[in-house]
Amino acid sequence: VPMGVLTCMKYLMFIFNVLVFAGGTCLAALGVWVAVDPAGFQDIVAARAVLSTGAWLLLAVGIALALLGFLGCCGALRRSRPLLLL
């Protein structure tokens, strides 16, 4: 495989993992906002317990995606197979 193709794949994997990291960070921020903001969503969330659980679930999924994206970025830059397989 030519070296240029491997370099292109490395940067494409890095960009994809940055997008996953950014999406996870946005989901985590939205989960924190829904769970904490007393003026915004709190009236809706207090009325239904399912929405409160959904906010915490959104936070957990966001943190997991952000961690996965971060480890993927590190694995792509270092060409670490275990990090990429994780």
What does the pLDDT look like over 25-54, one tens digit per residue?
999 998 888 777 756 766 666 666 677 788
- Torsion sign, CA atoms 85, 16, 60, 53: negative
- Residue 81, token pair as written in the block: 């197979």
Residues in the chain: 86
Nearest Cα neighbor of 23 from 79, 85, 66, 74 is 66
Supply the pLDDT for residue 15.
94
Tell me the average pLDDT across 1-29.
Answer: 91
- Domains of the chain by residue range: 14-78
Tell me the average pLDDT across 63-79.
Answer: 91
Rounded Cα distance between 69 and 53, Å, is 24
